[in-house]
Structure 1
C-alpha cells in the first residue's frame, strides 16, 4: 500500500514537473551544485522560483510524503522517473526546431549572463581586497597599542604588589616589636618568620637599604625572643615554685584526708569492705570523679609560657639549647626547694651513722613536727608540679626521659630517709605522735603512689614507724603489767558481781576441759552472787592488756598499710610473742625467788592459764593475719618459754614442799625398843599429816587436778620411801614387836590422809545446786568420782612397799618367806637380803635361849599388841 502511494505521489510530481516551463532548468543542478550549500541556492533563487500555481500543486503532495515519512523515497523515485521520462528528451529537442531555436537564443543569453557575472565578481573581489588591506592595517595598529598598554599595566601591577609586600614587611616588623613588648614571643617569632620568608622570596635581589636593615635585625630579634622567653620561664619558676608548692600540696593532702578518706570509711562500713585499705584499687574505683576535678593542675599551674617557649625553640631548631638552659635553672630551683638538704653532694666513705648525724645537723635539733610536715609537703608539691610540667610538655624538657620526677624523688628520699629514721627514733616518743605521723605519711604515700613515683624507701620508714609503735606499746605494756604484778594478791579471783564475772569470762581464755561457767554458789541458796576463779586478778587484767595491745596494732594498720604485709604481720607476732615471753614470763619468773608456797602455787596456776592464752593468741594471729592468708599457722615461741617457767615453778613448789617435809622429818623419832603399844601416833607424824592435809586441801586446792595429783603422788611416794629407809637403814639391829606396831600405827595414820584428800562419794559433803545446773553437775560429778576413785587407789598403792615390810616384821618367818608361792603372794616387793636383815632384827641371838614359857609370854604380848594395833588402825581408817 505504501509502495503504491509513493508511486502515485511520484507520478503526480512528475506531471507537475513536466507541465512547468522551468522544469528543465531545475534538472541542470547536479549533485555538486546541491553540495555548494545555501550560497548557490541564493544565486539561482530568482531563476528557480516556481509560480504560485505550481507551488500550490506541489504542496499537498510534499505534505503527504512528509506525513508518511516517505519523502526520501519519493525523491529517489522522482529522480528515477525523471531519468525515465527524459531519457529520449535530447533526441526530441534536437528534432524540435522551435526548441532548437530557443536553445540557440538561450546560449547567447547565457554567455551574456556569464560575462555579467564575471565582471560583477571581479569588481566585488577588488572591493574586498581593499577592505581587507584597510582592516589589516587597522588591526596591526590596534595590536601594537594593546601590547604597549599591557606592558605598562604589568609594570604597574608589579609595583603595586611590590609596594604591598614592602608594606607587609614593615607591618610585620612593627607587629613583631609590639608582640615582643606584650610578651607574645611565639607570635612575634611567627611574624619574624613571615618577614624573613617574604624578604628572601621577593626582595633578596633588590637593593633596598631599609629592607636590608630590617632583615639584618631579624637575628637580633630572634635572640631577644629566646632570652625573653627563657626569662619568662624563670619568672614562672619564681611564681609557681616559691609561692604555690606548699599551698598546692596542702590542697592535695586536705582533699585526700578530709574528702576521700572519710568517703572511703563510710563506703567500707556500708559495703563491709574492712579487708581493703585506703588507696587500694577497690577504694580508687569507688571515688567520686566529680570531686577529683577540683584538683585540676592545669588551672593551678598554668604552663602557657612553657608551651610558647617550646614552640619558639622548636621553630628555631634549638630544642637542645632550651633543654640545657632549662636543666640549669631547674637544678637551681630544686636545690632551693630541697634546702637544707644537699642533693648534689656525692656519697663519701663515711659510715651510715655519720651521714645520719650530718643530715640531722643540717635540719637542726629544733626541727619540729610541723616543720617536718611543711618541708615534706613542699617536696610533695614540687613532685606534683614536676609531674604536671613534664607530662604536659610531653617530657620534651627532660630530653624525652619519663623519669625526671622519679629521679628527683629517688635522690631526695635516699638522702632524706636516714634523717626521717633519725627523727622517728629520737623525736617521736609517744603513741599520739606516732599515730599522728602515721596518718600523715599514709596520706603522703597515697598521693605519691597515684603520681606513679617510687615509694619503696619511704615505705621502709613507714614500716619502721610501725616498729616504733609496737615498741612503744611494748613499753606501755611493761609498765602496766609491772603495776598489775605489784598489786596482785596471788590469790584466786573472787567475784561478787555477776556482770563483772561475765566480763571476766569473755576476756579470759579458760581450759578446754573447764566448764563454760565455773561452779558458783547458786543464787537461790545465797543472798549474794559469789564466784571464785582459780587464777589471780593478774590473769584477766593481763588478757585485757594483751587484747588491747593487739587491737591497737591491728587498728594502726587498718587504713594505710598495703605493702610488705608479711613483714608487718611478723612485727605483730614478734611484739605479742615478746610481751608473753619478755614481760609476762620474765617478770613472773622473777617472782619465783619467794619462799611462799601459796604464791608459788598461784604463780603455777597463772602460768597454766598464760600458756593457754599464748596458745589461743597463736590461733588468733594465724586466723586474723594481715596477709589475709587463711592457711597461716603459727605458734608463739613464748608458749615454750612459759611452759619452761611453769615446769620450773612446779619444781620450785616441789622443792618447797620437800624442804618443809624434810624439816618435819628431822623431828620424827621412833622408839624401836618400846615395850608398850601406843594408842595414838607420834606428834611429829601428826605434824607431817596435818601439813599434807592443809597443803593439798587449802594451799594447793586451786592447782590443776593433774598437778595437784602429781604432787600428792610424789609427796606420799617420797614419804613412804623415807620411812622405809628409816626402817631399813636407820633402825637398830634389834626391834621390839611393840615398836613395829607403833611404827605401823604412824604409817596407817599417814595413809588415812588419803581419804581426807580424796573422800569417797559417801564421805563427800553435799552442796546445794540449782535445778537448771543439776544435769550438768551430775554428769561432771560422775566423771570426777571415777577419776577420784582411781586416784585414791593409786595413792594407797604407794604404801604397799612399806606395808609389806611391816607385815614381814610382824611375822618374821624366814621359812615362810623362802616359799616362793607365799613370798610372791604376801611379800613380792621385799628382796631376799632385806628379808634376812629384817628377820635378824626381830629374832636376835640373845633371845634364842629363852625358855618356852617366856617365849610364849612374848608371843602372847605381841599378839595382844597386834590386836590393839588393829583396833587403832580401824579407828584411824574409819570414814
Structure 2
C-alpha cells in the first residue's frame, strides 16, 4: 500500500531527530538522541511537533507494515504484533518523553533563574574586581605621590623628580578616568616647584659652604704654587738651563706634570680638601628636566655675583705684620675664581668663559683698588716686598688657571714704583748720615780679617797682597767710602729682590735702579762732598778728593756690574752713570780747592816777606829769609803728610801749581809799584831766597818742577847782572833770559838802576829823576 501523506509536515530537524532515534542500536543511544530534542521540547508547540513527528513516523511505519502484510500476512501479523508492541512502547515512551519534557522544562526554568542569578553575580563580581583594581591603581598612584614627597623630605631630589615623572607619564595614564588622576595632575606643577625650591635651597647651602671654603681653596692653591716654586728651584740647582724658564711656562708645566695635585679634591698629608659638585649637578639636571635651564643659569649667575660682592671687604689693612687682610682677600679671590673655572669645565653650558672672566676682572679691579688705597699707609720697603711676594704668589697661581693677569702686572708696577721710592728715601737718609758723620781721615784697619771685609765690600784694588801688608794700616779712603759701597750693594740686591718671584717689567727695574743710583750718588754723595770743599782744612779737602776718586772708580765698576745684572734680556749696550762724570767733575773741583788753599797759604807766607829794598849793604853769607824757610817747610810738610794719600799724578800737579804760584808770588814782590828802588844788597837777599827755593825743588828730584822757577831765577839773575846790555840783545836775552818777561825785566832793571844810583849818591845830594826806565822800554820796543 502506498504510504499515506502526513497530515502535518514535520520540521526537518525533528524528522531527522526521530529518524536518528529509530536507527539507535541501544537505549543509551536512544536517550542520547532524545536529549537534544527534549531540551527543545520545553516549549509546548515544540513538544507537539515532536509528538506529531513521532506519529508521522508511526503512520509511515504502519503503512510499511500494511504493505508488507499484504505481501506476507504472517509476517505482517508478526509485524503488526511487533508494531503493536512498538506502538505501546512508543506511547509509553511518548508519555515518558512528555513527562521528561515537563521535567526538563521545569529544570530549564530553574536553570534559567540560576543562570540569571549567576550572570548578575558575575556582573557584581566584575564590578567589584574593577573597583578593587581601580582602588589598587589609585592607591599605587597615591603611594607614588607620597613617595615623591618622602624622597623630597629625604633631600633625594633627583629620585623625587624621577618618581614624579614616572607618576605623571606612566601611572596617571592608567587612572585617567578617575577624579584622583585629575587632582594629582593638577598638583604636579606645585610638586615640581617644591622640588625646584628644595634643590635650590640645597644649592644655596652648597654655595654658602663653597663661599666659606673659598679662602681655604685659595690657601691650598697657594701651597701648590709654593711647592711648584720649590721644585723649579731644585731643578735649577741640577741644571742652569731650567733657569731660563719661569713658573707657568710650557717647559715648567711639562716638567711638573708628573706631580699630580688636585686643588679641589686631594688628601695630601699637609692639606686636605674635597669640594663635591654633586648638589650643583643635581640642581642643573633637575632644572633641565623641568625646562628651566635658562632661569637656573640666570639665578646661579646672579647668586655668584652677590657672593663675589660679599667676598670683597670695604677696606684692608696693609700695615698688619702678618698681612692677614691681604692674604685673606687674595686667597678668597683665588678660591672663588678656581671654583668658577672648575664649574665652567665640569658643566657644558652653566658658566660661559665670558661670565667667568667678567667676574674675575671685577674681583681683580676691586682688589687693585683696595690695595692701591691702602698703599698710602705703607712706609716700609721691607713691608712692600712682603706685599709684593703675596701678590706674586696670587698672580702665578691664577696664571696657571688661565686667568688674565695684565691688570695685576700693572699693580706690581705701581708697587715697584713705591718700593723704589721708599728704598731711595731710606738710602738717601743713610748716605746723608754717612757723609755727615764721616771723620774724613784715612780709614785705619787693625787686622787682616777686617781688611779683607772692607776690600770685599768696596770697589778697591790694593797694590799689595794681604799677606804683604803690616797691620795696623790705613786705607787711602775714609770710612764713608766702604759704608756707601755697602749701601750701594744693598740697594742693588733689594731692588732685584723685587723681580725674584714674578715681575714682567724687568726693564723698569734696570732703569729705576740706574736712575736711583745716579740720583743718590750725585745728590747725596758727590754734591755733599763738593759742598764740604768750602772747608779751610787742606787735609779734609785732600781726603774728599781721595774719596771722590774712589767713588769715580766705583761708578765705573758699578756700570759693568749693572750690565751683568740686567734682568731684561732685550736690553743691550753699555750702562753709563751720570754719577761717574759728576765724581770726575767733583775731583777737579777738589783739586782746584786744594790749589786755592795751598796757594792761599803761599800767599800768606809771601806776604810776611820783609825785604828792605833800599838796604845799603848786605851782611856776609846771609841766611834765607824766615818766610822762605817757612814756605819750603810748608811745601815739604804738605807733600809728606796732607797730600801723601793722593795719587802721584795729582800730587805732582798740585806741587807743580804750588811752586809756580810761589815763584809768581815771590816775583811779584819786587814788581810791586810801591817798590821804586832796589839796591844791590836787596837783590842779593832776594837771590839767596830764590837759591834756597831752587835747592828745595832740586831735592825733590823732579826736573819738571824745576822749570817753574826758571822765570824767577832768570829774573833775579838779570837784576844782579853787571852787564845789563845783554838783556837788550835778542840773541843773548833768549839764551840767558829767555823766560824773563820783557816788561817785567825792563821795570826791574829800572828799579835796580835807581837803587844802585841811590846808594852811590850821598844822602845829602838831591836825587835826580831817572830816565832809564823809559829808555829801557824804548830799547825793548815796548810802548
Q: TM-score, normalised by structure 2?
A: 0.71
After superposition, give the CA deviation of every residue in 1:495-545 in whole Å (9 maximum; x if it has no partner): 34233333433332236xx73649956xxxxxx645443212322233233
2:597 to 651, 656, 660: 656
How far apart, CA to CA, are the structure 2 residues paired with 1:800 and 1:194? 128
Contact 2:445 2:472 in 1 (8 A): yes
Is there any run of 5+ residues in structure 1 with no aligned partner, and where?
A: 1-158, 342-358, 522-527, 760-791, 852-879
Aligned residue in 1 for 2:707: 797
Q: CA deviation at 1:556?
A: 4.6
Distance 1:166 1:290, change over 3 A: farther
Aligned residue in 1 for 2:546: 605
Contact 2:364 2:407 in 1 (8 A): yes
After superposition, give the CA deviation of every residue in 1:194-252 in whole Å (9 maximum; x if it has no partner): 5555589x679x6443333333333223333332232222121122213x122222222
Question: Secondary structure of 1:549's match?
Answer: helix
Q: CA deviation at 1:682?
A: 0.6
Contact 2:677 2:754 in 1 (8 A): yes
1:347-746 superposed matches below 5 A = 369-394=323-348, 396-398=349-351, 400=352, 402-427=353-378, 429=380, 431=382, 433-478=383-428, 480-481=430-431, 484-485=434-435, 488-510=438-460, 515=463, 517=465, 529-558=471-500, 560-628=501-569, 631-674=572-615, 675-676=617-618, 679-730=622-673, 732-746=675-689
Contact 1:492 1:535 in 2 (8 A): yes
How far apart, CA to CA, are the structure 2 residues paired with 1:439 and 1:720? 68
After superposition, give the CA deviation of every residue in 1:248-301 in whole Å (9 maximum; x if it has no partner): 2222223333x3333333332232355655555444433364442465389722
Aligned residue in 2 for 1:137: none
After superposition, give the CA deviation of every residue in 1:438-492 in whole Å (9 maximum; x if it has no partner): 4322322221211222323333333444445445544554555555546544222
Q: CA deviation at 1:608?
A: 0.5
Question: Secondary structure of 2:261's match?
Answer: helix
Q: CA deviation at 1:835?
A: 3.8
How far apart, CA to CA, are the structure 2 residues paired with 1:645 and 1:686? 33
How far apart, CA to CA, are the structure 2 residues paired with 1:506 and 1:688? 42
Distance 1:489 1:750, change over 3 A: same
1:159-178 superposed matches below 5 A = 173=145, 176-178=148-150
Aligned residue in 2 for 1:828: 738
The range that moved more, 695-704 or 580-589, is 580-589
Q: TM-score, normalised by structure 1?
A: 0.64
Q: CA deviation at 1:167?
A: 9.2
Contact 1:279 1:446 in 2 (8 A): yes
| Residue 193 of structure 2 corresponds to residue 245 of structure 1 | no
Is there any run of 5+ residues in structure 2 with no aligned partner, and where?
A: 1-129, 268-272, 762-783
How far apart, CA to CA, are the structure 1 residues paired with 2:600 and 2:738? 32
How far apart, CA to CA, are the structure 1 residues paired with 2:142 and 2:662? 129
Aligned residue in 1 for 2:55: none
1:821-860 superposed matches below 5 A = 821-844=731-754, 847=757
Question: Secondary structure of 1:224's match?
Answer: helix
Contact 1:169 1:198 in 2 (8 A): no
Aligned residue in 2 for 1:48: none
Question: Secondary structure of 1:536's match?
Answer: coil
Contact 1:384 1:451 in 2 (8 A): yes
1:221 to 147, 170, 191: 191
How far apart, CA to CA, are the structure 1 residues paired with 2:255 and 2:416? 28
1:111-150 superposed matches below 5 A = none
How far apart, CA to CA, are the structure 1 residues paired with 2:670 and 2:759? 26
Contact 1:484 1:541 in 2 (8 A): yes
Question: Secondary structure of 1:385's match?
Answer: helix
The range that moved more, 212-221 or 620-629, is 212-221
Distance 1:508 1:846, change over 3 A: closer
How far apart, CA to CA, are the structure 1 residues paired with 2:680 and 2:539? 42
How far apart, CA to CA, are the structure 2 residues paired with 1:440 and 1:660? 63
Contact 1:519 1:531 in 2 (8 A): no
Contact 1:812 1:839 in 2 (8 A): no
Q: CA deviation at 1:371?
A: 3.0
Contact 2:698 2:706 in 1 (8 A): no
Aligned residues: 624
Q: CA deviation at 1:846?
A: 8.4
How far apart, CA to CA, are the structure 2 residues paired with 1:665 and 1:830? 21
How far apart, CA to CA, are the structure 2 residues paired with 1:178 and 1:837? 134
Q: CA deviation at 1:381?
A: 1.9
| Residue 224 of structure 2 corresponds to residue 255 of structure 1 | yes
Question: Secondary structure of 1:843's match?
Answer: helix
How far apart, CA to CA, are the structure 1 residues paired with 2:479 and 2:406? 46
Aligned residue in 1 for 2:300: 326
Question: Secondary structure of 1:658's match?
Answer: helix
Contact 2:603 2:662 in 1 (8 A): no
Contact 2:221 2:263 in 1 (8 A): no
Distance 1:469 1:332, change over 3 A: closer
1:292 to 258, 261, 264: 261
Contact 1:814 1:835 in 2 (8 A): no
How far apart, CA to CA, are the structure 1 residues paired with 2:507 and 2:638? 50
Distance 1:406 1:655, change over 3 A: farther
How far apart, CA to CA, are the structure 1 residues paired with 2:422 and 2:431? 14
